[in-house]
Amino acid sequence: MQFQTPVNLPTSPQRLTPDSRVVLLGSCFAQHIGERMVQSLPDGHVALNPCGTLYNPHSLLHTAQWLTTEGQGPTADLCFEGRDGLWHHRLFSTDVSATSREACWAQVEERIAAARTVAQRMTHLFVTLSTDHVYRLRADESVIVANCHKEPAAHFREEIYPLQQMIEEWSAWVEWWQGAHPQCQLIFTLSPYRYAKYGMHASQLSKARLLLLIDALQEQFGERVSYFPAYEILMDELRDYRFYEADMLHPSHVAVDYIWERFTEWAFSPTLTEYATERERLRRDFAHHILHPESPEAQAFLRQREARRQAFLEKYGGRFAT
């Protein structure tokens, strides 16, 4: 008997290899998947959430533009001192915080610069959308913040970002991007997190509008834009509260591990699957704490480890840093 409704994965895009350069932007779910991607690809080949975790399509589009367009980027005037006594940036998550405006801005510049080094040669851009609700800063309603930083709710106006505006803005950028980065694949995912604070019906409507955005981009740009159904895998294939954290809203580690397995089947080339497996084995070897390094057993282990490292370096051309 079949006790699941397996989600059929769409046709795989350009598959990832050990030579791929990857940028991942989005929510907590993107962070979970991205951390696994960092472990699977060579050092320096992955840029993960340079602005911290982001949720809405407006903030995510701005970040994609900053990383791919010379002369665009955040500005220092949006650094502010929060109620916690630390300085933050309106367009970054709480990952960016410092004791002075200058130190906060230095963090912003450093994170964007590091991500641009990967984005200049990226082969894959992953964007995880989470919600179409945005928060405008009442003091300057041209500013849609990436994070409210626990400031008073009265400082912001919550609104649903219009679907047609989302489609027009993303379409304009993708039109430019596919000409500037002809070898790069754009892959969307939708966060499985459910926004109970909206009400479950409103949460589903939010997800539906984001799916319509993705569908419109796929229809317009064809194979250059892909979608991996992480949301549908959790909603339909797993479909059980066993696969949620205690809050019954976030996917559990087991669920994320399962979705990661499905993702690697879909996105990894056989070469990368082999590479990532061997790389992880070496990482575990080098993380092993040796209690008695002079013992015969430890010496044998060290010789075997070094032999595996040399074999790895010869096979993959040095794409491993211990």
pLDDT of 322 strictly over 50: no
- Rounded to an integer, the average pLDDT of 178-195 is 94
Looking up tokens 């996105």, which residue turns up?
267
Q: Average pLDDT, stretch 48-54?
A: 97
| Class of the CATH domain delimited by 22-268 | alpha beta
pLDDT at 291: 87
151-182 per-residue burial string, b: 16 or more CB within 10 A, e: under 16: beeeebeeeebebeebbebbeebbeebeeebe
Instruction: Look at residue 257 in the predicted model and tell me its pLDDT.
Output: 95
Q: Give pLDDT tens digits for 134-168.
A: 999 999 999 999 999 999 999 999 999 999 999 99
- Stronger pLDDT, 72 or 208, i.e. the higher one: 208
Q: Are 48 and 31 in contact (CB under 8 A)?
A: yes
The domain locations on the chain are 22-268, 269-322
Query: Which pLDDT does position 82 carry in this prediction?
Result: 96
| Buried/exposed 196-229: b ≥16 CB within 10 Å, e otherwise | eebeeeebeebbebbbebbebbbeebeebbbbbb
Q: Residue 189: pLDDT above 70?
A: yes
Kindly state the percentage of the chain with pLDDT values over 70.
Answer: 98
- The backbone torsions φ and ψ at residue 163, rounded to the nearest 5 degrees and listed phi first, read -60, -45
Instruction: Pick the more confident residue, 11 or 158.
Output: 158
pLDDT category at 28 given cuts 50, 70, 90 is: confident
Strand partners, 134: 159
Please report, for residues 45, 128, 161, 322, the alpha-carbon distance to residue 91 in angstroms, rounded to integers and kept in the order given: 24, 17, 16, 35
pLDDT score for 319? 58
- Kindly state the average pLDDT of the residues 313-321: 73
> What's the mean pLDDT in 82-100?
97
The answer to whether the CB of 200 falls within 8 A of the CB of 194 is yes
* Average pLDDT value over all residues in the chain: 94
Q: What CA–CA distance (Å, rounded) separates 261 from 25? A: 20
Percent of the chain with pLDDT over 90: 87
pLDDT band at 318 (very low <50, low <70, confident <90, very high): low
Rounded Cα distance between 258 and 236, Å, is 13
Instruction: Out of 125-129, 150-154, 310-314, pick the least confident.
Output: 310-314
Q: Which two tokens stand for residue 275?
A: 């590479």
Give this prediction's pTM: 0.94
Q: Do the beta carbons of residue 188 and residue 174 sit within 8 Å? A: no
